[in-house]
Amino acid sequence: CGWEVVDNHHLERVFRFKNFVEALDYVNRVGALAEEEQHHPDISLSWGKVVLTLFTHKIDGLSESDIVFAAKIDRMK
Amino acid sequence: CGWEVVDNHHLERVFRFKNFVEALDYVNRVGALAEEEQHHPDISLSWGKVVLTLFTHKIDGLSESDIVFAAKIDRMK
User: According to CATH, what is the number of the domain A4-76?
Assistant: 3.30.1360.20
In degrees rounded to 5, what are phi and psi of residue A60? 50, 50
Residue A45: list chain B partners with CB under 8 A. Answer: 27, 31, 42-45
Measured distance CA(B40)–CA(A56) in Å, rounded: 30
% of chain A exceeding 90 in pLDDT: 96
The answer to whether the Cβ–Cβ distance between B35 and A21 falls below 8 Å is yes
Q: Are strands A49-54 and B4-6 parallel, antiparallel or unpaired?
A: unpaired
pLDDT, tens digit, for every residue of B1-11?
Answer: 799 999 999 99
Beta strands in B1-77 (DSSP E): 4-6, 10-16, 42-46, 49-54
User: What is the pLDDT at residue B77?
Assistant: 63
Asked if the C-beta of B20 comes within 8 angstroms of chain A's C-beta atoms, the answer is yes
pLDDT, tens digit, for every residue of A52-72?
Answer: 999 999 999 999 999 999 999
Compute the Cα dihedral for B25, B28, B33, B39 and give only its sign: positive
